[in-house]
Chains A and B, each alone.
Chain A
Protein backbone atom coordinates (compact mmCIF):
# COMPACT_ATOMS: atom_id res chain seq x y z
CA UNK A 1 0.00 0.00 0.00
CA UNK A 2 2.75 2.35 1.06
CA UNK A 3 4.74 1.38 -1.99
CA UNK A 4 1.79 1.83 -4.30
CA UNK A 5 1.24 5.32 -2.91
CA UNK A 6 4.84 6.17 -3.44
CA UNK A 7 4.68 4.88 -6.98
CA UNK A 8 1.60 6.94 -7.72
CA UNK A 9 3.33 9.99 -6.36
CA UNK A 10 6.42 9.25 -8.38
CA UNK A 11 4.41 8.94 -11.59
CA UNK A 12 2.66 12.20 -10.83
CA UNK A 13 5.96 13.88 -10.08
CA UNK A 14 7.56 12.76 -13.34
CA UNK A 15 4.50 13.70 -15.38
CA UNK A 16 4.53 17.27 -14.13
CA UNK A 17 8.30 17.47 -14.43
CA UNK A 18 7.93 16.24 -18.02
CA UNK A 19 5.44 18.98 -18.85
CA UNK A 20 7.77 21.54 -17.31
CA UNK A 21 10.64 20.05 -19.29
CA UNK A 22 8.73 20.79 -22.49
CA UNK A 23 8.19 24.41 -21.42
CA UNK A 24 11.79 24.72 -20.38
CA UNK A 25 13.01 23.36 -23.72
CA UNK A 26 10.79 25.90 -25.48
CA UNK A 27 12.22 28.73 -23.40
CA UNK A 28 15.70 27.45 -24.14
CA UNK A 29 15.15 28.12 -27.84
CA UNK A 30 14.21 31.71 -27.05
CA UNK A 31 16.50 32.61 -24.17
CA UNK A 32 19.17 29.94 -24.28
CA UNK A 33 19.84 29.98 -28.00
CA UNK A 34 18.83 33.48 -28.99
CA UNK A 35 18.91 35.57 -25.82
CA UNK A 36 15.27 36.68 -26.03
CA UNK A 37 13.62 37.38 -22.70
CA UNK A 38 10.07 36.16 -22.71
CA UNK A 39 8.48 36.82 -19.33
CA UNK A 40 5.15 35.76 -20.76
CA UNK A 41 5.73 32.02 -21.04
CA UNK A 42 2.41 31.55 -19.25
CA UNK A 43 0.56 33.15 -22.17
CA UNK A 44 1.82 30.62 -24.72
CA UNK A 45 1.36 27.80 -22.23
CA UNK A 46 -2.25 28.88 -21.67
CA UNK A 47 -3.05 29.37 -25.34
CA UNK A 48 -1.77 25.87 -26.04
CA UNK A 49 -3.84 24.40 -23.22
CA UNK A 50 -7.04 26.19 -24.20
CA UNK A 51 -6.67 25.43 -27.90
CA UNK A 52 -6.21 21.75 -27.33
CA UNK A 53 -9.03 21.69 -24.80
CA UNK A 54 -11.48 23.46 -27.07
CA UNK A 55 -10.90 21.25 -30.09
CA UNK A 56 -10.98 17.95 -28.20
CA UNK A 57 -13.88 18.38 -25.74
CA UNK A 58 -17.50 17.45 -26.29
CA UNK A 59 -20.04 20.12 -27.05
CA UNK A 60 -20.82 22.30 -24.06
CA UNK A 61 -23.22 25.21 -23.62
CA UNK A 62 -20.58 27.04 -21.60
CA UNK A 63 -17.72 27.37 -24.03
CA UNK A 64 -16.82 26.93 -27.64
CA UNK A 65 -16.35 23.27 -28.40
CA UNK A 66 -17.90 20.11 -29.69
CA UNK A 67 -15.24 19.30 -32.23
CA UNK A 68 -14.16 16.17 -30.36
CA UNK A 69 -10.94 15.84 -32.31
CA UNK A 70 -8.39 13.26 -31.22
CA UNK A 71 -5.62 14.12 -28.77
CA UNK A 72 -2.86 14.49 -31.32
CA UNK A 73 -4.87 16.94 -33.39
CA UNK A 74 -5.49 18.83 -30.18
CA UNK A 75 -1.75 19.14 -29.67
CA UNK A 76 -1.40 20.22 -33.28
CA UNK A 77 -4.01 22.92 -32.68
CA UNK A 78 -2.08 23.99 -29.58
CA UNK A 79 1.11 24.28 -31.60
CA UNK A 80 -0.60 26.22 -34.32
CA UNK A 81 -2.37 28.64 -31.96
CA UNK A 82 0.63 29.50 -29.83
CA UNK A 83 2.84 29.68 -32.89
CA UNK A 84 0.44 32.08 -34.54
CA UNK A 85 0.24 34.24 -31.42
CA UNK A 86 4.03 34.27 -31.25
CA UNK A 87 4.21 35.27 -34.90
CA UNK A 88 1.91 38.26 -34.34
CA UNK A 89 3.65 39.30 -31.14
CA UNK A 90 7.05 38.80 -32.71
CA UNK A 91 6.28 40.92 -35.74
CA UNK A 92 5.72 43.89 -33.47
CA UNK A 93 8.14 43.35 -30.63
CA UNK A 94 11.19 41.60 -31.98
CA UNK A 95 12.54 44.79 -33.43
CA UNK A 96 12.75 46.07 -29.87
CA UNK A 97 15.75 45.95 -27.62
CA UNK A 98 16.02 43.01 -25.23
CA UNK A 99 14.64 44.66 -22.12
CA UNK A 100 11.74 46.21 -24.00
CA UNK A 101 10.81 42.76 -25.26
CA UNK A 102 10.74 41.61 -21.65
CA UNK A 103 8.36 44.41 -20.71
CA UNK A 104 6.20 43.82 -23.77
CA UNK A 105 6.00 40.12 -22.95
CA UNK A 106 4.46 40.74 -19.54
CA UNK A 107 1.91 42.89 -21.38
CA UNK A 108 1.06 40.04 -23.72
CA UNK A 109 0.71 37.66 -20.81
CA UNK A 110 -1.57 40.09 -18.99
CA UNK A 111 -3.77 40.59 -22.05
CA UNK A 112 -4.08 36.85 -22.68
CA UNK A 113 -4.97 36.35 -19.03
CA UNK A 114 -7.68 39.02 -19.23
CA UNK A 115 -8.91 37.54 -22.49
CA UNK A 116 -9.26 34.04 -21.06
CA UNK A 117 -11.03 35.42 -18.04
CA UNK A 118 -13.44 37.70 -19.82
CA UNK A 119 -14.36 35.95 -23.05
CA UNK A 120 -16.72 33.46 -21.50
CA UNK A 121 -18.30 32.35 -24.78
CA UNK A 122 -14.92 30.92 -25.75
CA UNK A 123 -13.39 29.79 -22.50
CA UNK A 124 -16.16 29.73 -19.89
CA UNK A 125 -14.28 32.50 -18.08
CA UNK A 126 -13.01 31.85 -14.57
CA UNK A 127 -15.08 28.67 -14.30
CA UNK A 128 -12.79 27.02 -16.82
CA UNK A 129 -13.11 24.04 -19.15
CA UNK A 130 -13.78 20.63 -17.57
CA UNK A 131 -13.91 17.13 -19.02
CA UNK A 132 -10.91 17.37 -21.28
CA UNK A 133 -10.27 13.84 -22.54
CA UNK A 134 -7.16 12.04 -21.32
CA UNK A 135 -5.56 9.93 -24.04
CA UNK A 136 -5.12 6.18 -23.56
CA UNK A 137 -7.32 6.23 -20.51
CA UNK A 138 -9.49 3.24 -19.72
CA UNK A 139 -7.31 0.86 -21.70
CA UNK A 140 -6.04 -0.86 -18.60
CA UNK A 141 -7.35 -1.45 -15.13
CA UNK A 142 -5.25 1.07 -13.20
CA UNK A 143 -2.45 2.12 -15.50
CA UNK A 144 -3.90 5.38 -16.85
CA UNK A 145 -1.42 7.57 -15.07
CA UNK A 146 1.51 5.46 -16.11
CA UNK A 147 0.40 5.36 -19.74
CA UNK A 148 -0.02 9.10 -19.79
CA UNK A 149 3.42 9.50 -18.30
CA UNK A 150 4.76 7.47 -21.20
CA UNK A 151 2.98 9.78 -23.63
CA UNK A 152 4.59 12.80 -21.95
CA UNK A 153 8.01 11.19 -21.93
CA UNK A 154 7.63 10.40 -25.62
CA UNK A 155 6.93 14.06 -26.32
CA UNK A 156 9.87 15.18 -24.19
CA UNK A 157 12.12 12.71 -25.96
CA UNK A 158 11.06 13.73 -29.46
CA UNK A 159 11.37 17.45 -28.73
CA UNK A 160 14.69 16.99 -26.99
CA UNK A 161 16.17 14.93 -29.83
CA UNK A 162 14.91 17.39 -32.42
CA UNK A 163 16.44 20.33 -30.55
CA UNK A 164 19.73 18.50 -30.11
CA UNK A 165 19.89 17.89 -33.86
CA UNK A 166 18.93 21.48 -34.46
CA UNK A 167 21.61 22.68 -32.09
CA UNK A 168 24.29 21.41 -34.45
CA UNK A 169 22.74 23.23 -37.39
CA UNK A 170 23.87 26.47 -38.99
CA UNK A 171 20.51 27.96 -38.03
CA UNK A 172 21.28 27.80 -34.31
CA UNK A 173 24.81 28.95 -34.99
CA UNK A 174 23.36 32.12 -36.44
CA UNK A 175 21.03 32.51 -33.43
CA UNK A 176 23.96 32.20 -31.08
CA UNK A 177 25.91 34.70 -33.12
CA UNK A 178 22.96 37.10 -32.92
CA UNK A 179 23.00 36.75 -29.17
CA UNK A 180 26.70 37.55 -28.91
CA UNK A 181 26.95 40.25 -31.54
CA UNK A 182 23.89 41.21 -33.47
CA UNK A 183 25.57 43.88 -35.55
CA UNK A 184 28.18 41.51 -36.89
CA UNK A 185 25.48 39.11 -38.05
CA UNK A 186 23.62 41.96 -39.67
CA UNK A 187 26.82 43.05 -41.37
CA UNK A 188 27.32 39.53 -42.67
CA UNK A 189 24.13 40.01 -44.65
CA UNK A 190 21.83 37.82 -42.56
CA UNK A 191 18.26 38.87 -41.93
CA UNK A 192 18.49 39.10 -38.15
CA UNK A 193 14.81 39.87 -37.66
CA UNK A 194 13.75 36.76 -39.52
CA UNK A 195 16.02 34.52 -37.49
CA UNK A 196 14.74 36.03 -34.29
CA UNK A 197 11.13 35.67 -35.36
CA UNK A 198 11.71 32.03 -36.30
CA UNK A 199 13.32 31.30 -32.95
CA UNK A 200 10.57 33.07 -31.06
CA UNK A 201 7.85 31.17 -32.92
CA UNK A 202 9.59 27.81 -32.55
CA UNK A 203 10.05 28.32 -28.82
CA UNK A 204 6.42 29.32 -28.42
CA UNK A 205 5.19 26.36 -30.46
CA UNK A 206 7.01 24.08 -28.03
CA UNK A 207 5.46 25.92 -25.09
CA UNK A 208 2.10 25.39 -26.78
CA UNK A 209 2.75 21.65 -26.79
CA UNK A 210 3.45 21.90 -23.08
CA UNK A 211 0.12 23.64 -22.62
CA UNK A 212 -1.74 21.00 -24.61
CA UNK A 213 -0.17 18.20 -22.59
CA UNK A 214 -1.05 19.97 -19.39
CA UNK A 215 -4.71 20.33 -20.38
CA UNK A 216 -5.04 16.62 -21.10
CA UNK A 217 -3.18 15.73 -17.95
CA UNK A 218 -5.35 17.68 -15.53
CA UNK A 219 -8.51 17.34 -17.69
CA UNK A 220 -9.65 20.68 -16.27
CA UNK A 221 -8.19 24.12 -16.92
CA UNK A 222 -9.05 27.62 -15.75
CA UNK A 223 -7.19 30.92 -15.98
CA UNK A 224 -5.79 30.58 -12.48
CA UNK A 225 -3.68 27.60 -13.56
CA UNK A 226 -1.59 29.90 -15.73
CA UNK A 227 -0.52 32.50 -13.23
CA UNK A 228 2.93 34.03 -13.76
CA UNK A 229 4.46 32.05 -10.90
CA UNK A 230 3.81 28.58 -12.24
CA UNK A 231 3.48 29.42 -15.91
CA UNK A 232 6.51 31.65 -16.28
CA UNK A 233 8.72 32.05 -13.28
CA UNK A 234 9.27 28.44 -12.35
CA UNK A 235 10.19 27.70 -15.97
CA UNK A 236 12.81 30.44 -15.91
CA UNK A 237 14.31 29.16 -12.70
CA UNK A 238 14.42 25.68 -14.21
CA UNK A 239 16.24 26.77 -17.32
CA UNK A 240 18.71 29.01 -15.52
CA UNK A 241 19.41 26.42 -12.86
CA UNK A 242 19.84 23.66 -15.40
CA UNK A 243 21.94 25.70 -17.79
CA UNK A 244 20.70 28.25 -20.33
CA UNK A 245 21.56 27.21 -23.84
CA UNK A 246 21.93 23.55 -22.97
CA UNK A 247 19.00 21.23 -23.79
CA UNK A 248 20.15 18.69 -21.25
CA UNK A 249 20.29 21.52 -18.75
CA UNK A 250 16.69 22.40 -19.54
CA UNK A 251 15.64 18.81 -18.77
CA UNK A 252 17.76 18.55 -15.67
CA UNK A 253 16.55 21.92 -14.39
CA UNK A 254 12.92 20.91 -14.84
CA UNK A 255 13.36 17.74 -12.79
CA UNK A 256 15.52 19.31 -10.08
CA UNK A 257 13.52 22.47 -9.59
CA UNK A 258 10.24 20.59 -9.64
CA UNK A 259 11.85 18.35 -7.08
CA UNK A 260 12.88 21.32 -4.97
CA UNK A 261 9.43 22.79 -5.30
CA UNK A 262 7.79 19.55 -4.25
CA UNK A 263 10.38 19.12 -1.52
CA UNK A 264 9.60 22.50 0.01
CA UNK A 265 6.04 21.28 0.35
CA UNK A 266 7.24 18.51 2.61
CA UNK A 267 9.08 21.14 4.61
CA UNK A 268 6.20 23.62 4.84
CA UNK A 269 3.68 20.93 5.73
CA UNK A 270 5.56 20.50 9.01
CA UNK A 271 5.17 24.12 9.97
CA UNK A 272 2.92 25.06 12.86
CA UNK A 273 -0.78 25.41 12.09
CA UNK A 274 -0.92 29.18 11.71
CA UNK A 275 1.82 29.10 9.08
CA UNK A 276 0.31 26.45 6.89
CA UNK A 277 -2.00 28.86 5.12
CA UNK A 278 1.01 30.95 4.20
CA UNK A 279 3.09 27.99 3.17
CA UNK A 280 2.86 28.52 -0.55
CA UNK A 281 4.09 32.08 -0.19
CA UNK A 282 7.06 30.84 1.79
CA UNK A 283 7.83 28.34 -0.93
CA UNK A 284 7.69 31.01 -3.60
CA UNK A 285 10.04 33.13 -1.53
CA UNK A 286 12.50 30.28 -1.33
CA UNK A 287 12.41 29.68 -5.07
CA UNK A 288 13.05 33.39 -5.63
CA UNK A 289 16.00 33.23 -3.27
CA UNK A 290 17.27 30.15 -5.08
CA UNK A 291 17.18 32.03 -8.40
CA UNK A 292 19.19 34.92 -6.94
CA UNK A 293 21.67 32.47 -5.50
CA UNK A 294 22.16 30.80 -8.87
CA UNK A 295 22.47 34.11 -10.73
CA UNK A 296 25.14 35.30 -8.35
CA UNK A 297 27.14 32.13 -7.78
CA UNK A 298 26.57 29.95 -10.82
CA UNK A 299 25.03 31.99 -13.65
CA UNK A 300 25.93 29.36 -16.22
CA UNK A 301 23.77 26.76 -14.43
CA UNK A 302 24.50 23.16 -13.52
CA UNK A 303 25.21 22.13 -17.11
CA UNK A 304 26.82 25.07 -18.85
CA UNK A 305 26.24 25.69 -22.51
CA UNK A 306 28.51 23.55 -24.70
CA UNK A 307 28.46 24.97 -28.17
CA UNK A 308 29.41 22.62 -30.99
CA UNK A 309 32.96 23.10 -32.20
CA UNK A 310 32.96 24.86 -35.50
CA UNK A 311 35.93 26.79 -36.79
CA UNK A 312 33.81 29.80 -37.68
CA UNK A 313 32.63 30.46 -34.16
CA UNK A 314 35.73 29.52 -32.24
CA UNK A 315 36.64 33.09 -31.46
CA UNK A 316 33.34 34.22 -30.07
CA UNK A 317 33.20 31.26 -27.71
CA UNK A 318 36.04 32.56 -25.63
CA UNK A 319 33.94 35.42 -24.40
CA UNK A 320 31.01 33.10 -23.82
CA UNK A 321 32.40 30.98 -21.01
CA UNK A 322 29.35 31.84 -19.03
CA UNK A 323 26.21 31.85 -21.14
CA UNK A 324 25.33 35.07 -19.42
CA UNK A 325 28.42 36.73 -20.79
CA UNK A 326 27.26 37.33 -24.32
CA UNK A 327 23.82 38.55 -23.47
CA UNK A 328 24.27 42.25 -23.29
CA UNK A 329 21.38 43.26 -25.48
CA UNK A 330 21.83 46.96 -25.05
Chain B
Protein backbone atom coordinates (compact mmCIF):
# COMPACT_ATOMS: atom_id res chain seq x y z
CA UNK B 1 0.00 0.00 0.00
CA UNK B 2 1.26 3.43 -0.92
CA UNK B 3 0.98 5.64 2.16
CA UNK B 4 1.61 8.86 0.30
CA UNK B 5 -1.34 8.21 -1.95
CA UNK B 6 -3.48 7.24 0.98
CA UNK B 7 -2.69 10.46 2.84
CA UNK B 8 -3.48 12.55 -0.23
CA UNK B 9 -6.72 10.67 -0.75
CA UNK B 10 -7.57 11.10 2.91
CA UNK B 11 -6.93 14.84 2.88
CA UNK B 12 -8.88 15.15 -0.35
CA UNK B 13 -11.88 13.56 1.32
CA UNK B 14 -11.46 15.87 4.30
CA UNK B 15 -11.66 18.85 1.95
CA UNK B 16 -14.92 17.55 0.50
CA UNK B 17 -16.09 17.04 4.07
CA UNK B 18 -15.32 20.63 5.01
CA UNK B 19 -17.23 21.92 1.99
CA UNK B 20 -20.24 19.79 2.86
CA UNK B 21 -19.78 20.73 6.51
CA UNK B 22 -19.99 24.44 5.68
CA UNK B 23 -23.30 23.91 3.92
CA UNK B 24 -24.68 21.86 6.78
CA UNK B 25 -23.47 24.45 9.30
CA UNK B 26 -25.41 27.24 7.66
CA UNK B 27 -28.57 25.20 8.07
CA UNK B 28 -27.70 24.09 11.59
CA UNK B 29 -27.15 27.68 12.75
CA UNK B 30 -30.75 28.52 11.93
CA UNK B 31 -32.15 25.37 13.48
CA UNK B 32 -30.17 26.13 16.60
CA UNK B 33 -31.27 29.78 16.76
CA UNK B 34 -34.91 28.86 16.35
CA UNK B 35 -34.71 26.10 18.87
CA UNK B 36 -32.96 28.36 21.34
CA UNK B 37 -35.73 30.92 21.24
CA UNK B 38 -38.92 29.15 20.21
CA UNK B 39 -38.00 25.72 21.66
CA UNK B 40 -39.10 23.62 18.75
CA UNK B 41 -37.34 21.61 16.07
CA UNK B 42 -38.03 23.41 12.81
CA UNK B 43 -38.66 20.71 10.23
CA UNK B 44 -39.18 23.17 7.40
CA UNK B 45 -35.61 24.40 7.61
CA UNK B 46 -34.28 22.14 4.90
CA UNK B 47 -36.96 23.35 2.56
CA UNK B 48 -36.06 26.93 3.39
CA UNK B 49 -32.58 26.05 2.16
CA UNK B 50 -34.11 24.78 -1.09
CA UNK B 51 -36.15 27.94 -1.41
CA UNK B 52 -33.02 30.05 -1.00
CA UNK B 53 -31.30 28.02 -3.68
CA UNK B 54 -34.19 28.57 -6.10
CA UNK B 55 -34.34 32.29 -5.37
CA UNK B 56 -30.66 32.23 -6.21
CA UNK B 57 -31.55 30.58 -9.51
CA UNK B 58 -33.86 33.47 -10.31
CA UNK B 59 -30.99 35.87 -9.67
CA UNK B 60 -28.45 33.95 -11.72
CA UNK B 61 -30.55 32.80 -14.66
CA UNK B 62 -33.46 35.21 -14.99
CA UNK B 63 -31.86 38.43 -13.76
CA UNK B 64 -28.34 37.56 -14.95
CA UNK B 65 -26.86 38.97 -11.78
CA UNK B 66 -23.34 38.20 -10.61
CA UNK B 67 -23.08 35.79 -7.69
CA UNK B 68 -22.18 38.38 -5.07
CA UNK B 69 -25.40 40.24 -5.84
CA UNK B 70 -27.44 37.06 -5.92
CA UNK B 71 -26.72 36.24 -2.29
CA UNK B 72 -28.25 39.26 -0.57
CA UNK B 73 -31.23 39.05 -2.90
CA UNK B 74 -31.96 35.37 -2.28
CA UNK B 75 -31.25 35.67 1.43
CA UNK B 76 -33.58 38.64 1.74
CA UNK B 77 -36.35 36.98 -0.22
CA UNK B 78 -36.09 33.81 1.86
CA UNK B 79 -36.10 35.85 5.05
CA UNK B 80 -39.32 37.50 3.96
CA UNK B 81 -40.92 34.14 3.27
CA UNK B 82 -39.86 32.93 6.72
CA UNK B 83 -41.30 36.01 8.35
CA UNK B 84 -44.53 35.52 6.43
CA UNK B 85 -44.64 31.88 7.50
CA UNK B 86 -44.23 32.94 11.11
CA UNK B 87 -46.91 35.59 10.86
CA UNK B 88 -49.40 33.36 9.10
CA UNK B 89 -48.82 30.04 10.85
CA UNK B 90 -46.32 29.65 13.67
CA UNK B 91 -47.38 32.76 15.51
CA UNK B 92 -50.84 31.36 16.12
CA UNK B 93 -49.38 28.23 17.65
CA UNK B 94 -46.96 29.90 20.08
CA UNK B 95 -49.17 29.20 23.05
CA UNK B 96 -49.53 25.53 22.12
CA UNK B 97 -46.76 23.00 22.76
CA UNK B 98 -43.39 22.70 20.99
CA UNK B 99 -44.56 19.35 19.65
CA UNK B 100 -47.55 20.89 17.92
CA UNK B 101 -45.24 23.54 16.44
CA UNK B 102 -42.98 20.77 15.22
CA UNK B 103 -45.85 19.02 13.46
CA UNK B 104 -46.95 22.28 11.96
CA UNK B 105 -43.43 22.82 10.62
CA UNK B 106 -43.60 19.43 8.91
CA UNK B 107 -46.69 20.76 7.16
CA UNK B 108 -44.90 23.96 6.29
CA UNK B 109 -42.02 21.91 4.87
CA UNK B 110 -44.38 20.19 2.46
CA UNK B 111 -46.01 23.45 1.48
CA UNK B 112 -42.66 25.05 0.70
CA UNK B 113 -41.46 22.06 -1.27
CA UNK B 114 -44.59 21.75 -3.32
CA UNK B 115 -44.61 25.50 -3.96
CA UNK B 116 -41.08 25.15 -5.31
CA UNK B 117 -42.23 22.32 -7.53
CA UNK B 118 -45.15 24.32 -8.82
CA UNK B 119 -43.03 27.33 -9.67
CA UNK B 120 -39.80 25.74 -10.90
CA UNK B 121 -40.83 22.20 -11.79
CA UNK B 122 -39.52 18.91 -10.45
CA UNK B 123 -36.38 18.55 -12.60
CA UNK B 124 -32.77 19.03 -11.63
CA UNK B 125 -31.35 22.49 -12.32
CA UNK B 126 -27.90 24.00 -12.21
CA UNK B 127 -26.64 27.56 -11.83
CA UNK B 128 -24.21 27.47 -14.71
CA UNK B 129 -23.07 24.83 -17.12
CA UNK B 130 -19.48 23.96 -17.76
CA UNK B 131 -16.69 22.58 -15.65
CA UNK B 132 -14.20 24.78 -13.88
CA UNK B 133 -10.73 23.39 -13.53
CA UNK B 134 -9.68 22.74 -9.97
CA UNK B 135 -6.63 24.29 -8.38
CA UNK B 136 -4.04 21.73 -7.41
CA UNK B 137 -1.89 22.06 -4.29
CA UNK B 138 0.52 19.23 -3.60
CA UNK B 139 -1.77 16.81 -5.39
CA UNK B 140 -4.90 18.05 -3.59
CA UNK B 141 -7.65 19.21 -5.90
CA UNK B 142 -9.97 22.01 -4.91
CA UNK B 143 -12.40 23.77 -7.20
CA UNK B 144 -12.89 27.53 -7.14
CA UNK B 145 -16.52 26.95 -6.19
CA UNK B 146 -15.46 24.94 -3.18
CA UNK B 147 -13.07 27.65 -2.04
CA UNK B 148 -15.87 30.15 -2.40
CA UNK B 149 -18.16 28.03 -0.28
CA UNK B 150 -15.63 27.77 2.52
CA UNK B 151 -14.75 31.45 2.34
CA UNK B 152 -18.38 32.54 2.05
CA UNK B 153 -19.41 30.49 5.06
CA UNK B 154 -16.58 31.93 7.13
CA UNK B 155 -17.67 35.47 6.22
CA UNK B 156 -21.29 34.76 7.12
CA UNK B 157 -20.38 33.20 10.45
CA UNK B 158 -18.23 36.20 11.33
CA UNK B 159 -21.00 38.59 10.32
CA UNK B 160 -23.48 36.67 12.42
CA UNK B 161 -21.11 36.75 15.36
CA UNK B 162 -20.81 40.51 15.05
CA UNK B 163 -24.55 40.88 14.74
CA UNK B 164 -25.19 38.85 17.87
CA UNK B 165 -22.58 40.60 19.97
CA UNK B 166 -22.52 44.16 18.70
CA UNK B 167 -26.08 45.07 17.87
CA UNK B 168 -29.00 45.73 20.16
CA UNK B 169 -31.23 43.27 18.31
CA UNK B 170 -28.54 40.59 18.33
CA UNK B 171 -28.05 40.92 22.06
CA UNK B 172 -31.80 40.80 22.59
CA UNK B 173 -31.88 37.57 20.59
CA UNK B 174 -29.32 36.03 22.89
CA UNK B 175 -31.27 37.31 25.86
CA UNK B 176 -34.46 35.66 24.62
CA UNK B 177 -32.60 32.45 24.04
CA UNK B 178 -31.36 32.59 27.64
CA UNK B 179 -34.67 33.37 29.30
CA UNK B 180 -37.80 34.39 27.45
CA UNK B 181 -39.76 35.25 30.61
CA UNK B 182 -37.07 37.54 31.92
CA UNK B 183 -36.83 39.23 28.54
CA UNK B 184 -40.55 39.92 28.68
CA UNK B 185 -40.28 41.27 32.22
CA UNK B 186 -37.45 43.52 31.08
CA UNK B 187 -39.78 45.09 28.56
CA UNK B 188 -38.19 43.65 25.44
CA UNK B 189 -40.68 43.34 22.60
CA UNK B 190 -40.30 39.60 22.21
CA UNK B 191 -42.44 39.34 19.07
CA UNK B 192 -40.11 41.69 17.25
CA UNK B 193 -37.07 39.76 18.32
CA UNK B 194 -38.69 36.53 17.19
CA UNK B 195 -39.42 38.15 13.83
CA UNK B 196 -35.74 39.00 13.43
CA UNK B 197 -34.73 35.53 14.49
CA UNK B 198 -36.73 34.05 11.64
CA UNK B 199 -35.20 36.47 9.17
CA UNK B 200 -31.64 35.70 10.25
CA UNK B 201 -32.16 31.94 10.41
CA UNK B 202 -33.78 31.93 6.98
CA UNK B 203 -31.08 34.12 5.45
CA UNK B 204 -28.39 31.73 6.67
CA UNK B 205 -30.40 28.80 5.35
CA UNK B 206 -30.73 30.49 1.97
CA UNK B 207 -26.98 30.96 1.72
CA UNK B 208 -26.50 27.31 2.64
CA UNK B 209 -29.03 26.32 0.00
CA UNK B 210 -27.25 28.29 -2.72
CA UNK B 211 -23.95 26.71 -1.73
CA UNK B 212 -25.59 23.30 -1.87
CA UNK B 213 -26.90 24.13 -5.33
CA UNK B 214 -23.41 25.21 -6.42
CA UNK B 215 -21.78 22.11 -4.96
CA UNK B 216 -24.32 19.68 -6.42
CA UNK B 217 -27.56 20.52 -8.22
CA UNK B 218 -30.91 22.06 -7.44
CA UNK B 219 -34.01 20.00 -7.06
CA UNK B 220 -37.09 20.46 -4.90
CA UNK B 221 -36.15 17.66 -2.51
CA UNK B 222 -32.56 18.85 -1.89
CA UNK B 223 -33.49 20.54 1.37
CA UNK B 224 -35.49 17.69 2.83
CA UNK B 225 -32.56 15.38 2.06
CA UNK B 226 -30.10 17.55 3.95
CA UNK B 227 -32.41 18.13 6.92
CA UNK B 228 -31.19 15.07 8.79
CA UNK B 229 -27.49 16.07 8.69
CA UNK B 230 -28.54 19.60 9.64
CA UNK B 231 -30.39 18.41 12.72
CA UNK B 232 -27.54 16.03 13.51
CA UNK B 233 -25.10 18.95 13.37
CA UNK B 234 -27.23 21.16 15.58
CA UNK B 235 -27.57 18.38 18.13
CA UNK B 236 -23.93 17.33 17.97
CA UNK B 237 -22.85 20.90 18.55
CA UNK B 238 -25.22 21.44 21.43
CA UNK B 239 -28.62 22.75 20.43
CA UNK B 240 -29.00 26.49 20.91
CA UNK B 241 -25.24 26.98 20.63
CA UNK B 242 -24.17 28.71 17.42
CA UNK B 243 -20.50 27.89 17.45
CA UNK B 244 -21.49 24.36 18.32
CA UNK B 245 -23.67 24.32 15.22
CA UNK B 246 -20.70 25.27 13.07
CA UNK B 247 -18.44 22.68 14.68
CA UNK B 248 -21.20 20.09 14.50
CA UNK B 249 -21.70 20.84 10.81
CA UNK B 250 -18.03 20.38 10.06
CA UNK B 251 -17.95 17.18 12.09
CA UNK B 252 -20.95 15.69 10.33
CA UNK B 253 -19.72 16.80 6.91
CA UNK B 254 -16.24 15.37 7.38
CA UNK B 255 -17.37 12.09 8.92
CA UNK B 256 -19.99 11.63 6.20
CA UNK B 257 -17.39 12.05 3.49
CA UNK B 258 -14.82 9.90 5.30
CA UNK B 259 -17.38 7.14 5.64
CA UNK B 260 -17.45 6.79 1.87
CA UNK B 261 -13.92 5.36 2.08
CA UNK B 262 -15.35 2.46 4.09
CA UNK B 263 -19.02 1.99 3.27
CA UNK B 264 -21.18 2.52 0.22
CA UNK B 265 -21.74 6.24 -0.46
CA UNK B 266 -25.44 5.45 -0.73
CA UNK B 267 -25.53 5.21 3.04
CA UNK B 268 -24.00 8.61 3.75
CA UNK B 269 -27.13 9.94 5.49
CA UNK B 270 -27.06 6.93 7.82
CA UNK B 271 -23.74 8.20 9.14
CA UNK B 272 -25.25 11.52 10.17
CA UNK B 273 -27.99 9.58 11.85
CA UNK B 274 -25.56 7.36 13.72
CA UNK B 275 -23.56 10.32 15.03
CA UNK B 276 -26.75 12.03 16.09
CA UNK B 277 -28.09 9.04 17.98
CA UNK B 278 -24.74 8.45 19.67
CA UNK B 279 -24.65 12.09 20.75
CA UNK B 280 -28.21 11.99 22.00
CA UNK B 281 -27.61 8.87 24.02
CA UNK B 282 -24.19 9.68 25.44
CA UNK B 283 -23.91 13.45 25.46
CA UNK B 284 -27.27 15.12 24.92
CA UNK B 285 -25.90 18.60 25.53
CA UNK B 286 -23.58 18.33 22.53
CA UNK B 287 -19.88 19.02 22.10
CA UNK B 288 -19.95 22.57 23.34
CA UNK B 289 -22.89 22.20 25.66
CA UNK B 290 -26.26 23.62 24.87
CA UNK B 291 -29.73 23.67 26.20
CA UNK B 292 -31.41 20.57 27.49
Contact = CB atoms under 8 A, between A and B. Distances in A.
A–B contact, 8 Å CB criterion (strictly below):
yes
B289 interface: no
Task: Name the residue in B93, B98, B107, B270 with the highest tally of chain A Cβ atoms < 10 Å from its Cβ.
Answer: B107
B167 interface: no
A229 interface: yes
B92 A296 contact: yes
Contacts of B92: 296
Contacts of B97: 324-325, 327-330
B225 to A, nearest CB: 8
Interface in A69-114: 92-93, 95-96, 98-100, 102-104, 106-108, 110-111, 114
Contact of B41 (A93, A102, A278, A324): A102
B104 A291 contact: yes
Interface string B103-123: 110111011011101100110
A287 B115 CA distance: 12
Q: How large is the interface on B (under 10, 10 to 19, 20 to 34, 35 or more residues)?
A: 35 or more
Nearest to A290: B107
Nearest to A232: B106
A67 interface: no
A98 B277 contact: no
Contact of B111 (A107, A289, A325): A289
A236 interface: yes
A133 to B, nearest CB: 31
Contact of A104 (B40, B122, B277, B284): B277
B269 interface: yes
Interface string A263-278: 0000000000000011
Interface stretch (B7-15, B65-73, B175-183, B227-235): B227-235
Interface in B13-34: none
Contacts of A37: 99, 102-103
B272 to A, nearest CB: 8
A283 B110 CA distance: 11
Contacts of B186: none
Contact of B103 (A110, A111, A295): A295
A63 interface: no
Interface string B144-173: 000000000000000000000000000000
B100 interface: yes
B99 A99 contact: yes
B117 A103 contact: no
B264 interface: yes
Contact of B107 (A111, A277, A281, A291): A291
Given A295-B100, A295-B104, A92 B277 contact: yes
Contacts of B110: 229, 233, 284-285, 287-288
B285 to A, nearest CB: 12
25 contacts: A37-B102, A92-B277, A99-B102, A102-B99, A103-B41, A103-B276, A106-B43, A110-B269, A110-B273, A114-B269, A117-B266, A118-B267, A236-B106, A284-B113, A285-B118, A288-B108, A288-B110, A291-B104, A295-B96, A296-B92, A324-B100, A327-B97, A328-B97, A328-B98, A330-B39
Given A117-B266, A330-B39, 10 more contacts: A103-B41, A103-B231, A107-B270, A110-B269, A111-B267, A114-B266, A288-B107, A289-B111, A327-B97, A329-B99
Interface of A: 35, 37, 39, 92-93, 95-96, 98-100, 102-104, 106-108, 110-111, 114, 117-118, 228-229, 233, 236-237, 240, 277-278, 281-285, 287-289, 291-292, 295-296, 299, 324-325, 327-330
